[in-house]
Amino acid sequence: MRRILIIDDDHQILLMIKKMLERAGFEVDLASNGNEGIELIKKVSVDLVITDIIMPEKEGLETIREMKRLCPDLKIIAMSGGGKVSADNYLNTAKIFGASKIMAKPFSQKQMVSAVQDLLGEPSDGNPYNGKDSSEDGLEQKQGR
């Protein structure tokens, strides 16, 4: 079973993405900031990291740079909903720093699982949750739809 580390300071987002990925058959570890995430990958082998960009203690861009220094071949998905500037600015910088894929929040379960499977070279069929694209299971905004 492939192991994924999710790093985000928002506990609800951690649990939501964990649920998405476990449904799709992945083993998931959680960290609430970049420092915790880096300590974890020093102890446990992971196949992929999903990290938020804006976090306390050690933000995502610094986390990506350090993880790529420790594990140059590590696949990383950077995600952001933005902050004082648009999410695109943070995500483009994350790509420059070594993120394999970037995702703007909000995203759906289908988008997240698809990105993970693509990076890990896993087939997307055979799991009933892979094609599901429900707002209940994604980080989609309830307004504006």
DSSP per residue, 45-70: --SEEEEESS-SSS-HHHHHHHHHHH
- Looking up tokens 């192991």, which residue turns up? 3
Q: What is the pTM of this model?
A: 0.85
Give the single-character DSSP code of 81. -
Is the pLDDT assigned to residue 103 strictly greater than 50? yes
pLDDT at 72: 96
Is the pLDDT assigned to residue 144 strictly greater than 80? no
> What is the per-residue pLDDT across 9-61, written as a single tens digit (0 to 9) for each?
999 999 999 999 999 999 999 999 999 999 999 999 999 999 999 998 899 99
Is the pLDDT assigned to residue 135 strictly greater than 60? no
pLDDT at 89: 84
CA-CA distances (angstroms) from residue 66 to 44, 63, 89, 94?
16, 5, 20, 12
**Is 34 within 8 Å of 62 (Cβ atoms)?**
yes
**Is 54 within 8 Å of 90 (Cβ atoms)?**
yes
> What is the per-residue pLDDT across 62-99, written as a single tens digit (0 to 9) for each?
999 999 999 999 999 999 987 655 667 889 999 999 99
Is the pLDDT assigned to residue 128 strictly greater than 90? no
With respect to CATH, is domain 3-137 assigned 3.40.50.10420? Answer: no
